[in-house]
Amino acid sequence: MKKFVFASVLAIVVSATTAQVNNPAYNNPYPKTINVTGSAEMEIVPDEIYVQVNLREYEKKGSGKINMETIKKQFLQLCKNAGIPDSLISIAAYQGADRLYWLNKKKKTPDMMATISYIIKFNSIQKIDAIVEKLDDEATQGFFIVKTSHSNMDAFRMQLKIQAVKAAKDKAIYLSEAIGEKAGVAVSIQEPVDYSVMPVYRNAAANVKLRENDQYADNAEYADIDFKKIKLKFEVQAVFALQ
């Protein structure tokens, strides 16, 4: 009885396997494929420049201490006069934001100076220059570029992804023709990988200051200190059927 059952099961399995082999639906529809990499890249000039400005209280000879409220008011008024709305200004850090901690520390160190850091979003170097020229040199402890971007960044990324896929298709066509084949439908396309390079600004504040210094006017190292271009690059892996 056991042998009969085993033989029956074996017959069913063999029958099912034979049916799958003979059924075109179970055959590999793409026995021959070509795997290619497509890429696309571009460079764009940033129109969103984020600058951090660090301000600090200080002692002014003959006037005593210039407190943080005065410094903040003057700074924000300066930005307003330069045409920078409040919506483009945010606080990055504020030493003394924790009131209880600040008061306790202040009691132990009465001469301690408060500090505040602002992030300003610019769209041109001209506006940055306008701010730099009028900053309070005593209160300003730091002025540097945090990052750059572009207002149409998402559109650029989508455009490059499409170009990368098209580049993969073109590559599949001419490579397959080289061996007498023809590229057919796409079997698979992976999400394009982002290899973009965002510029890193070191000593950017110093460079901005040097623009105003005549002794560096003819120096090639400082002659062109406009913002570095953002390099966007995408690569995609795609598989196409060979006909």
- Residue 3: predicted pLDDT: 52
pLDDT (mean) for 139-160: 93
Single out the residue of 116, 114, 113 nearest to residue 142, CA to CA: 116
Domain termination site, one of 149, 172, 205? 149
199-221 residues labelled b (16+ CB within 10 A) or e (exposed): eebeebbebbebbeeeebeeeee
Q: Percent of the chain beyond pLDDT 70?
A: 71
Q: What is the pLDDT of residues 89-114, one digit of tens each?
A: 999 887 754 444 555 555 556 567 88
- Residue 202: predicted pLDDT: 58
* One domain for residues 162 and 225: yes
- Residue 132: predicted pLDDT: 87
Domain tally, the chain: 2
Residues spanned by the domain of 186: 27-46+150-243
Confidence at 6, pLDDT banded by 50, 70, 90: very low
Query: How far is the C-alpha of 46 from the C-alpha of 221, rounded, in Å?
Result: 21
Query: How far is the C-alpha of 37 from the C-alpha of 234, rounded, in Å?
Result: 10
Note whether 192 and 234 are within 8 A (CB).
Answer: yes
* One domain for residues 172 and 234: yes
**Does residue 176 fall inside a structural domain?**
yes
Query: How far is the C-alpha of 60 from the C-alpha of 49, rounded, in Å?
Result: 32
> In this structure, what token pair is assigned to residue 205?
């504040």
What is the DSSP code string of 201-223?
-SSHHHHHHHTT-GGGTT-HHHH
Q: What is the pLDDT of residues 172-220, one digit of tens each?
A: 999 999 999 999 999 999 999 999 988 876 555 444 443 444 443 444 4
Query: How far is the C-alpha of 130 from the C-alpha of 127, rounded, in Å?
Result: 5
Long-range pairs, 169-174, Cβ under 8 A, ≥24: 169/38, 169/238, 169/240, 170/38, 171/36, 171/37, 171/38, 172/34, 172/36, 172/238, 172/240
Domain termination site, one of 100, 132, 149? 149
Domain termination site, one of 107, 134, 149? 149
* Average pLDDT value over all residues in the chain: 79
* One domain for residues 100 and 38: no
* One domain for residues 156 and 94: no
Contacts of 150 (CB under 8 A, 6+ apart): 44, 45, 46, 47, 48, 156, 230
Q: What is the pLDDT of residues 149-158, one digit of tens each?
A: 999 999 999 9
